Every structure is written in structure tokens, then in C-alpha cells.
């Protein structure tokens, strides 16, 4: 049995902490994505922000490598992995981004979109089984508790009884697109798990955004053809998303997944829904409902159990 993802004791928490930061970053950028949904299309938004993210990562790489841009890509294997990983992750990240944004454009609410997208917390360990990746036994009940917590956090309304708990559990076209986004994100998480340990993480993030940005801009010119005035009107949201979500969030994801099994990574990253709610409370002065408090508690319990299980029983390949 070949063990995977077994960092030293001193570095055991580095990966989860980086993923927690990624979840925090994504949770605070959802409002910007929602605000510009009526101004530019999904391909325009994602194509431009990903190209910007790719360009903005170049000086980060230069500083990180002290001016030697390719210092961390010395071996042929690392360069080959960067090219193949960048292509695969880039296709997946632009597909997921477009599906999610188009779901919002078609009317999926922010809360419901957050819940449906985070369903990858269920998909990742299930799909991972087909790639011969075992997960600790305690991960499975943690995933179930996390799914219930996400539903309480984003959708449920206890004040109306069972009707309120279940009333929003209907799928529109936008919801189905968002569910497709969750499925694509599942393969993106598993792909990052495959490629990130074998090459430079920041370079991989840069490469995936370059590929995704080019694809998004080509689709923009074919299907949307936005006016320059519309892009300018949405520039604040695009720049914010490029810097915060792309440069910071996705790069933290790749670096964090280098030291974290994918099932645990998915569970940590789904906490973006919690941070989105907390951002509303802090910046918009909204009050948390009983459902949201219960959802946060359930997610915290699920994460605690899953982290403990991973530390005691690390995932293995067959």
C-alpha cells in the first residue's frame, strides 16, 4: 500500500490552513460576482478576470524566485507536468466558472448557488474512489453532516416548519447549471491533487488561468461580444475577483492541496459559504438566523471530525 500526502508533523497543518484562507477569500468575493451578473456575461467575466489573474501572478513568481522565473522548473518532468496540468486545470476552472456565473445570471440566488456549488464536498470522495483513493471511515459521516450544515446555512427556513426546510429544494435551469459547476469543480480538485505535488504551485495557478482566460475570451467573442462600456462598468468587480479570487484564492488552493488529501480539502473549502454569511453580517450589518448558526456549527463539527480522522488515518492509494 503506497501512502500519499504524509507531510511531516511540523507541516501537518500548513495545507489545511492555506485551504481555510482560500475559503475565506472566496467567501468574501461572492458579492462582487453577483453585482456584475447583469452587466457582463459569464464568458466575459471569467475570461477577462482569469487572464488578468495569470498576468498578475507573473511578478509574484518573479519575487518568489528572486528574479529567476523558471528556477523552480528545473526538471523536464516538472515542466511537462506544468504544461499538462495547466491545460487540464485551465479547462476545468473556466468551465466551472462559466457554469456558476451563468446560473447566477439565470436567477439562482446567492445562498442557493453557494449551497449547490459546495455539493462538491460530497462528489469529491465519491469520484475519488474511481481513482483508487481511499478516505478515512470518519470522512463519510463528516461529509453528510457538512451537506446538512450547508443546506441549513444557505437554503433552509425553519420558521415555516417542514415546508420552509424543503421549499427551496427545487431545481431551475440556473440551479442545474450550478450543479454542473459543482461536478466540474470536483474534477478540478482531483486534478490539482494529481498535478500540484509534481510542479511549482504558483506556476500551475498561472498556467491554469492563462488557459482558462484564453478559452473564456474566445467564447466571449463568439457568444457574447460585449460593449467596451459594459466591461468598463464591471471593471471593479472583474479586478476585485481577479486579484482576490484568482491570484489569492486559487493559488492558496493549489499550495494547500499539495499537502492535503482531496476529500479533506473539499470539506475545508466548502467553508466559503460560512465566510460569505459572516461577510454579510460584518459589512452589511445583517443578523444571522437560527438556521445559519446551526449550519455553521454543523460544518465546524464535520470539519473537526474529518481533520482528526485524516491526522489519525491518512488516506491511501490501493
The least confident of 65-79, 240-254, 267-281 is 267-281
The answer on pLDDT for 53 being more than 80 is: yes
Q: How many Cβ atoms sit within 10 Å of the Cβ of residue 196? A: 23
Residue of 180, 194, 174 whose CA lies nearest to 258: 194
What is the model's pTM?
A: 0.82
Write the CA distances from 86 to 110, 199, 242, integer angstroms. Answer: 29, 10, 17
- Dump pLDDT digits (tens) for 137-173: 777 787 788 778 777 766 666 666 555 555 555 667 8
Residue of 115, 89, 128 whose CA lies nearest to 264: 128
Q: What is the mean pLDDT of the chain?
A: 81
Contact 204, 38 (CB under 8 A): no
Residue holding cell 476545468?
Answer: 92
Residue of 303, 247, 245 whose CA lies nearest to 274: 303
Contact 207, 85 (CB under 8 A): yes
pLDDT number for residue 315: 43
State the cell numbers at 202: 504558483
pLDDT number for residue 313: 44
pLDDT number for residue 154: 65
The answer on pLDDT for 284 being more than 70 is: no
251: Cβ–Cβ under 8 A, 6 or more apart, which residues? 57, 60, 201, 202, 205
pLDDT bin (cut points 50, 70, 90) of residue 269 is: confident
Q: What are phi and psi of 71, to 5 degrees?
A: -65, -30
Which of 71-85, 116-130, 218-232 has the highest average model confidence (pLDDT)? 218-232
The answer on pLDDT for 95 being more than 90 is: yes
Task: Indicate the SS3 state at residue 128.
Answer: helix
- Ordered by start, the domain boundaries in the chain are 14-317
**Helix pair 139-154, 120-130: axis angle to 10 deg:** 150
Q: Report the C-alpha gap between 230 and 236 in whole angstroms.
A: 11
The least confident of 200-214, 260-274, 302-316 is 302-316
Instruction: Give burial (CB, 10 Å; 0-12/13-18/19+) of 139.
Output: buried
The answer on pLDDT for 217 being more than 80 is: yes
Q: What are phi and psi of 316, to 5 degrees?
A: -135, 160
Query: With pLDDT > 70 as the criterion, what percentage of the chain qualifies?
Result: 80
Q: Report the C-alpha gap between 299 and 293 in whole angstroms.
A: 10
pLDDT number for residue 165: 57
The phi-psi region of residue 38 (left if phi > 0; otherwise alpha if psi is between -120 and 50; otherwise beta) is alpha
Amino acid at each position: 500500500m503506497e501512502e500519499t500526502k504524509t507531510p511531516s508533523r511540523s507541516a501537518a497543518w500548513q495545507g489545511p490552513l492555506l485551504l481555510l484562507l482560500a475559503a475565506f477569500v472566496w467567501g468574501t468575493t461572492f458579492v462582487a460576482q453577483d453585482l456584475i451578473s447583469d452587466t457582463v456575461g459569464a464568458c466575459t467575466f471569467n475570461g477577462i478576470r482569469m487572464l488578468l489573474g495569470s498576468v498578475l501572478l507573473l511578478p509574484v513568481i518573479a519575487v518568489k524566485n528572486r528574479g529567476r522565473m523558471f528556477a523552480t522548473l528545473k526538471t523536464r518532468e516538472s515542466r511537462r507536468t506544468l504544461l499538462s496540468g495547466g491545460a487540464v486545470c485551465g479547462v476545468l476552472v473556466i468551465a466551472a466558472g462559466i457554469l456558476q456565473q451563468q446560473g447566477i445570471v439565470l436567477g439562482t440566488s446567492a445562498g442557493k448557488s453557494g449551497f449547490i456549488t459546495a455539493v462538491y464536498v460530497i462528489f469529491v470522495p465519491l469520484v475519488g474512489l474511481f481513482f483508487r483513493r481511499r478516505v478515512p471511515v470518519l470522512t463519510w459521516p463528516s461529509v453528510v453532516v457538512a451537506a446538512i450544515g450547508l443546506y441549513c446555512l444557505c437554503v433552509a427556513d425553519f420558521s415555516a416548519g417542514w415546508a420552509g426546510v424543503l421549499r427551496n429544494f427545487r431545481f431551475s435551469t440556473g440551479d442545474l447549471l450550478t450543479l454542473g459547476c459543482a461536478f466540474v469543480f470536483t474534477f478540478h480538485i482531483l486534478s490539482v491533487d494529481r498535478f500540484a505535488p509534481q510542479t511549482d504551485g504558483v506556476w500551475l495557478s498561472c498556467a491554469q488561468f492563462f488557459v482558462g482566460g484564453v478559452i473564456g475570451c474566445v467564447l466571449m467573442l463568439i457568444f457574447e461580444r460585449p460593449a467596451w462600456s459594459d466591461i468598463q462598468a464591471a471593471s471593479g468587480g472583474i479586478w476585485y475577483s481577479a486579484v482576490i479570487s484568482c491570484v489569492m484564492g486559487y493559488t492558496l488552493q493549489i499550495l494547500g492541496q499539495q499537502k492535503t488529501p482531496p476529500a479533506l480539502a473539499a470539506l475545508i473549502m466548502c467553508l466559503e459559504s460560512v465566510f460569505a454569511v459572516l461577510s454579510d453580517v460584518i459589512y452589511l450589518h445583517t443578523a444571522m438566523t437560527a438556521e445559519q448558526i446551526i449550519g455553521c456549527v454543523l460544518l465546524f463539527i464535520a470539519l473537526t471530525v474529518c481533520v482528526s480522522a485524516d491526522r489519525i488515518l491518512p488516506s491511501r492509494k490501493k
